[in-house]
Structure 1
Amino acid sequence: MSKDAKNVPALRFRGYSDAWEKRKLGETNSYFTDGNYGESYPKESELSDKENGVPFLRGSNLRNGELIEDNANYITKEKHAELTSGHLVEDDIVLAVRGSLGALGYVKDENIDWNINSQLAVIRTDKSELSGKFLVQFLLSWRGQKELLSRNTGTALKQLPIKQLKDVPVPIVNLDEQKEIGALFSSIDNLIAATQRRIDALEQAKKALLQRLFDQSWRFKGYSDPWEKRKWSQLVGISKNMVDPTTGKYDSLIHIGPGNIRSNSRELVDLKTVKDENLISGKFHFDKGDIIYGKINPQLAKYTIAPAEGLSSADTYVLKPKSGIERLFLYYTLGTNRFFKYTVSVSQRTGMPKINRDELNAYSLIIAPSLFEQKRIGLFLRKTDDLIAATQSRLSSLELLKKSLLQDLFI
């Protein structure tokens, strides 16, 4: 137990100045339980559908302090009642104790009675001294994460036994201050969750738009001519301009490889210059506005529009639209189900899935005969992408705000 001047967070709510006490989690009046041992995956006879079953959560259902029901298994209500441990109630903290150590989720809803598998455990706090809403935010902070991860006893598989969990030092603070801190983070978490839901909804809307616009069930007013089938090779050039990146001529240009492209998104991550990448093998030269398409593992759907001149990996194709097809129309064609299914089907050979030039050139594009209609479709979908990107940026800002507050509000 410790309570001294060092145990004062950098940021405080007005009216609170006392130093915080530190105590081992096992010394608080908290209840601990493992998930159902040996019940990582329910048997076929114990499974149920979403409407009639109870979610049976695993590590992948914990994300940033939230319980995510997506992709959960569902067990029958009879099996749920039979299991003697792992039942969840409001204010419980669920954490991964095998595998994804540090992953946490908080039960907000008093009507939830879900269940957890053997990868997870539950902390149920005594609200008279420690709020679950406060504790979960501490455990999400870098200090809490450090304490959890440092107690790993596993080798090949990370493990955090309950005995080790009970040794984690946690702050014990005035309940009113706990309430203020918990309420603040609840507001931020609600904003983050709402923003993520908005992103999910926008991505679903984009998916529907792609389907409707490219199967022509939706048309812009004024266009009615039937679309045409044209060979890829007639409309799209695949660059063969491979250059030597070691000459120094391209040092200041960006380099794009499949690893820099997010799946189903034009977003680029971790871009570096040719010089910083220390590239030695031949790369394709591209211009601003060219389309970069990842030819390895086409099921990952990695493609983007080059934001500037640069070099791309030999594992990509640099695509240049010819006369008869608009750049944005071609770009969004790559996101259609028809194109995706084709690339996956022709790349399924032994070894690494890959689509070659001949296979791409053999693909038949179905295009609007009017370049004006193509342009309207491309610009409309780009506005949707811009809205998704802006919402993603807001989400990133909220997550950075929370990260900063977690650092300054906890000792």
Structure 2
Amino acid sequence: MKIPNSWKKVQFGDVVSKINDKVSNREEWIFNRYIGGEHFDEGEIRVTKSAPIEGNEEVIGSAFHMRFKPGQVLYVTRNPRLRKGGMVNFEGVCSNVSFVMEANETKLLQSLLPFVIQTEDFVKHTCNNAHGSTNPFLNWKDIANYEFLLPPLVEQKKINEVLWGVENSIIKLEIYLQKLRSFQDKIITNLLKPKKGGKLTKFGEIIKLSKEKSQAPYGNLKYLGLEHIDSGVSICNKFSDANNVKSVTSVFKKGDILYGKLRPYLDKAVIASFDGICTTEILVINANDKTTNDFLMLHIRTKDFIDYNTRLGFGTKMPRTSVEIISNYEIYLPSISEQKILLNTTNKLNKLIADVNKNKASLKNLRNKLSNELLKGELRLD
């Protein structure tokens, strides 16, 4: 491809610096949030999730000593295919597995940096230059030698305006979704309240756990990992090719409930929209004849259920719930006919949330397409 006029080819390390703001002494920490690998969502421009330091001291290992500040960009160096990186808008600490980066703004706008690291060319470069097979990783030099086309600052500002225009539209939808989900949770919690004198039923009495497992080679099956499931979303259309999976997996069918037992506070549970295999960190659940999967999902989505599993989960660095814990969760179970009425009441709100999520996904696809084309000079803003 011909290089556009006034554009030039540069190496990533010539326009971006790795910031080593090391704060090993925890008594000097003046911030109250930390970011771990679990807080990054695949392919995002912003890192919006984090966790409080207080109460998680045992989870935060000695590797967590890299301070980041608002406006800086974080990039996870493990498993680059997961595309974990983005800009932060608060101060905190992350582990040394994540690079903290700043652009030299005489050459590259800092606000464009998160878009650069999510381009297809950057991801391809990092995957091809990663070391190791089981848990591939990158050193700074592997990223620093990435070559890409750099437009002049005048054109960067135009590109920046377009890309952040789309991203800001996504942010508005996210705020709207938060309000809808909060409203939904209040409605569902109220609808699911036990009737006076109503008998409580344990989850274990109304669910069936699939124990079907599979082993490599998997051929062309669809593989679902926890990284493919977005928090708080009941449908997942993302997956990867199972050819690269070597471990034992669980088998699931379309319509099954897939519940992520690792870090239950992340609220990762969906109803499968296709057949496939998944990590054993995901439980494959179905309702028995006393209820339906849709009704179970109403409970799984509630704050009470999430808090219950988070509170009783075990493990410090990798907290998880279990079948036993889930099975002991108690709910009021109305008749099937009453369950249908409750589901009809919530379906309109569910459809609205699904439509907003669909619009959000469309905007993300547009953002990604524009990022790749604008930052390669294939699409010009005259």
Structure 1 length-normalised TM:
0.57
Q: 1:24 aligns with which of 5, 11, 25?
A: 11
Which residue in the other structure is 1:82 paired with?
none
Residue 207 of structure 2 contacts residue 285 of structure 2 at CA under 8 Å; is this kept in 1? no
1:120 aligned to 2:99? Answer: yes
Q: 1:6 aligns with which of 2, 6, 16?
A: 2
CA drift of 1:58 comes to 5.7
Matches within 5 A, 1:187-226: 187-215=165-193, 226=196
1:173 aligned to 2:151? Answer: yes
1:228 aligned to 2:198? Answer: yes
Partner Cα distance (2:308, 2:76) in 1 = 42
CA drift of 1:22 comes to 0.9
1:176 is paired with a residue whose SS is helix
Q: 1:59 to 1:329 in 2, by over 3 A?
A: closer
1:122 is paired with a residue whose SS is strand
Q: CA RMSD in A?
A: 5.5
Q: 2:344 aligns with which of 372, 379, 400?
A: 379
Q: 1:34 aligns with which of 11, 19, 28?
A: 19
Q: Which moved more, 1:331-340 or 1:131-140?
A: 331-340
Residue 239 of structure 1 contacts residue 320 of structure 1 at CA under 8 Å; is this kept in 2? no
1:105 aligned to 2:86? Answer: yes
1:71 aligned to 2:51? Answer: yes
Equivalent residue letter for 1:45: E
Which residue in the other structure is 1:267 paired with?
235
2:348 is paired with a residue whose SS is helix
1:228 is paired with a residue whose SS is coil
Partner Cα distance (1:175, 1:188) in 2 = 20
CA drift of 1:395 comes to 1.7
Partner Cα distance (1:382, 1:205) in 2 = 13
CA drift of 1:180 comes to 0.8
Q: 1:262 to 1:320 in 2, by over 3 A?
A: farther
Residue 227 of structure 1 contacts residue 369 of structure 1 at CA under 8 Å; is this kept in 2? no
CA drift of 1:340 comes to 7.2
Residue 295 of structure 1 contacts residue 316 of structure 1 at CA under 8 Å; is this kept in 2? yes
Q: 1:296 to 1:153 in 2, by over 3 A?
A: closer
Q: How many residues align?
A: 333
Partner Cα distance (1:256, 1:214) in 2 = 34
Equivalent residue letter for 1:267: I
CA drift of 1:195 comes to 2.3
1:22 is paired with a residue whose SS is strand
Partner Cα distance (1:87, 1:365) in 2 = 43
CA drift of 1:183 comes to 0.5
Matches within 5 A, 1:41-52: 44-47=26-29, 50=32
Equivalent residue letter for 2:85: L
CA drift of 1:397 comes to 0.9
Equivalent residue letter for 1:122: M
CA drift of 1:100 comes to 5.7
CA drift of 1:121 comes to 2.9
Equivalent residue letter for 1:180: K
- C-alpha deviations, 1:39-64, integer Å up to 9, x for none? 5xx555345564xxxx5656656552
1:132 aligned to 2:110? Answer: yes
Equivalent residue letter for 1:168: Y
Equivalent residue letter for 2:9: K
Partner Cα distance (1:57, 1:307) in 2 = 31
1:390 aligned to 2:372? Answer: no
Which residue in the other structure is 1:158 paired with?
137
Which residue in the other structure is 1:146 paired with?
124
The percentage of counterpart residues that share the same residue type is: 16
Equivalent residue letter for 1:71: A
Partner Cα distance (1:305, 1:164) in 2 = 39
- C-alpha deviations, 1:358-381, integer Å up to 9, x for none? x96x98752458956x54432222
Residue 153 of structure 1 contacts residue 159 of structure 1 at CA under 8 Å; is this kept in 2? yes
Partner Cα distance (1:189, 1:262) in 2 = 18
Equivalent residue letter for 1:188: V
Q: From the CA coordinates, give the structure whose radius of gyration is larger.
A: 1
Residue 227 of structure 1 contacts residue 366 of structure 1 at CA under 8 Å; is this kept in 2? no
Structure 2 length-normalised TM:
0.61
Partner Cα distance (1:206, 1:126) in 2 = 44
